[in-house]
A and B are shown apart, each in its own frame.
Chain A
Amino acid sequence: MGRKILLVEDDRTTAEFILKGLAEHGHVADHADNGRDGLFMATDGSYDAVILDRMIPGMDGLAVLGALRAAGIETPVLFLSALGSVDDRVTGLTAGSDDYMVKPFAFAELLARLELLMRRRGAGTTVETTLACGTLTMDLLKREVRRGDRPIDLQPREFRLLEYLLRHAGQVVTRTMLLEGVWDYHFDPGTNVIDVHISRLRRKVDGEGDTPLILTVRGAGYRLG
């Protein structure tokens, strides 16, 4: 289902690259190349998400976000910025953005994070007690996981990792998203530390004879189902 997305980005090449990618995935995207227009459009239109650059002419990205939130507009905002230090990210996130991505970026990850944001908003307030994907089920209350009839015994962190994948079933999740979402760290580990966690989880979830559920998406990350 196509969504309405606003891109506030002053670099023409980057903007075209993102707009093209969004269109290919069935989304409708508007573009503003400065902060003032961006704020005006975001305030006016009913967007499902905003991709916001931090260093833009007219009005700084942080100021745009501040003005939006002050006006009571809760559209999910994803910062896409060349300011990439740990500090910059924390600043962006504490300023009220919903996600923070550092340039240069892979489009697959941008799309994955964006869809995740929009789904999170759409999910509303229903409290789920069970998650499922294919024959895999997770009972959040009893903290039990089963693949068909086979119970799967998971460590607490493996449980959270699988829960994260289940909540985003069908979507691409990147390694950084997993590190942020499951471990709450925003640094770049540089090694394949996440891959090992995934492959352990995969050994438990995808037993012999089962259809593999945890898939590796080349150049991006993983996808459940």
Chain B
Amino acid sequence: MTRWLRSSHARFIGLILLLELIFGAALLLSVTQLVRSNLDEADIATAIDMRDALLAIGRDEGGKALASAVAEQARDEKDAVILLIGPDGRIVAGNLSGWPPNIPGRTEGIRARLYRLGDSQPGPFIITAAPTVDGSRLLVGESTDDSDQIRSTIGGALLTALLTALPLAAVAAWLVVHIIDRRIVHIAETAAQVGAGRIDHRVALDGSGDSFDMLGGTINDMLDRIVGLLAELRTVTDSIAHDLRSPLTRLRARIDRAMLTDDPAALREAVDGISREADALLAMLATALEVSRMEAGIGRERLSPTDLALLLADIGELYEPLCEEQGRALHIEATGPAIAPAHRELLGQALSNLIDNALKYGEGAMTLYLDQAPDAWRVGVADSGPGIPAEREADALRRFGRLDPARGIAGAGLGLSLVSAVAGIHDGALRFARREGQFAVEMSISKGG
């Protein structure tokens, strides 16, 4: 029970009830206040009318006529108190036993409970008083009994209405909570299902686009992404198993052969080979890790404004001798400044991978280029080789994915994955393109902002 009271449901229902109560109380107060002041005004008006009529009699017809009019009214008016006191302070006529204390000689609207002569109970009156022309004092009060009754009736009715409304509000609150609850529980259950391994479960959407729909949609997107990553992870583990096995087998074979030889020169050579295989394995592992880290978004915080044209010039300068040595010209087409938030190291590595690829698989002159799309820079490497056939592009991008003829050449099939991940970290993508008759692999680098 206490747990339930602490829950958001209880708080929600409590809040709605509290608001309902405050609203009801405010309504009750303002309505009774309004009714009360209206009724009071009416009672005072009646009393003033009666008093003024009597004062007029006194002024026009003299004290005697006033005294008899007062006496008559005092007898006939069942809902009024009336009293005339002479200038000497004696009671001239009326239905009160004396001038009540606390009532001044001139007033309009003092409430008081007064005993009328002959009544056993005091009644509520609203009093007016004024002096007459000959120095007497006249008091006239109208009973507020009837209006008090009206007032309490209205108050009672409102209170009843409020009390009836409270359970209705409670039911409404519970219903609202229930409706919200159903949607959230559904989302939670979906998450639990996925957590339990049924990863194809998704939150059902009603297409309304409300906040629940948005939450559901976001969660579905997230689940899709997780499923995508899982599938990729599976491919990677499968590929690692496959691609690590061959170099490890070669390593093993080299060690076996080395153990059989006694010739120091051959042994030296064998150890060299083993060392090279180990280095290649380590490099492969490092790259695989680097790609995973980037795909998880690590490194994004290191992006800083970088001139891509300078970067291209740098990398071009680094690779130019190597390209030349292999009989391949390297042209740079980049005019700066081309500033973008970039990770210099990772971009440098990506470009160096692309140049390596072009050296290994491409033909003819190579171009290292920079051009621009509306909100991104495009940097890439183009060469005159046949490139990757359109139907094999997806394979080429897969991690550890290598096009079959490439299996014979050194490399782990991670190069393009790394480039793709680098582009990803720059809010861009890797794509294959035809550029002035050359085959190009390029990264888009978001200009940011």
A187 and B348 within 8 A (CB): yes
Stretch of A112-120, A124-132, A188-196, A208-216 with 4 or more beta carbons under 8 angstroms from chain B:
A188-196
In the bound complex, do residue A85 and residue B349 qualify as a contact, i.e. CB atoms below 8 Å apart? no
Chain A positions within 8 Å of B286 at CB level: 84-85, 102, 188
Interface size class of B (residues with CB under 8 A): 20 to 34
A87 touching B302, Cβ below 8 Å: yes
Q: Which residues of A contact B283 (CB under 8 A)?
A: 188, 190
Knowing A87-B302, A104-B282, the reply to whether A193 touches B352 (Cβ < 8 A) is yes
For residue B278, which residues in chain A have a CB less than 8 angstroms away from its CB?
104
Contact A183 B321 (CB under 8 A): no
Q: Are B314 and A193 in contact (CB under 8 A)?
A: no
* Chain B residue, CB-CB nearest to A193: B322
Nearest chain A CB to B310's CB is how many angstroms away? 12
**B317:A157 contact, CB within 8 angstroms:** yes
User: Is B352 a contact of A87 with CB atoms below 8 Å?
Assistant: no
Complexed CA–CA distance, A190 and B290 (Å): 14
Find residues 228-264 in chain B having any chain A CB closer than 8 Å to their own CB. none
How many angstroms from the CA of A200 to the CA of B322 in the assembled complex? 10
Contact A185 B319 (CB under 8 A): no
The CA of A85 and the CA of B288, in the complex, are separated in Å by 10
Residue of A nearest to B325 (CB): A196
Indicate if A67 sits at the interface (CB-CB under 8 A).
no
Chain A residues lying within 8 Å of B54, measured Cβ to Cβ, are none
Is the C-beta of B85 less than 8 angstroms from some C-beta in chain A? no
Smallest beta-carbon distance B286→chain A, Å = 6
In the bound complex, do residue B345 and residue A196 qualify as a contact, i.e. CB atoms below 8 Å apart? no
Q: Tell whether, in the assembled complex, residue A86 and residue B275 are in contact, meaning their CB atoms are under 8 Å apart.
A: no
User: Which residues from chain B contact A187 at a C-beta distance below 8 Å?
Assistant: 345-346, 348-349, 352
- The reply to whether B318 and A90 contact each other, CB–CB distance below 8 Å, is no
B295-321 contact mask (Cβ, 8 Å, vs A): 1 or 0: 000110010000000000010011101
> Does B293 touch A at the CB level, under 8 Å?
yes
Contact of B298 with A193 in the complex, beta carbons under 8 Å: no
Q: Contact: A183 with B318, CB < 8 Å?
A: yes
CA distance A186 to B352 in the complex (A): 12
Which of these, A85, A200, A219, contacts B321 with CB under 8 Å?
A200
Docked Cα-Cα span, A200 to B349, in Å, equals: 23
Q: List B contacts of A84 (CB < 8 A).
A: 286, 289
B345 contact from A86, A190, A191, A197, Cβ within 8 A: A86
B108 within 8 A of A: no
- Interface residue from B275, B314, B319, B345 paired with A186 (Cβ < 8 Å): B345
Q: Scan A165-198; emit 1 where CB is below 8 A from any B CB, else 0.
A: 0000000000000000001011111111100110
Interface residues, chain A, CB within 8 Å of chain B?
A: 84-87, 90, 102, 104, 157, 183, 185-193, 196-197, 200, 219
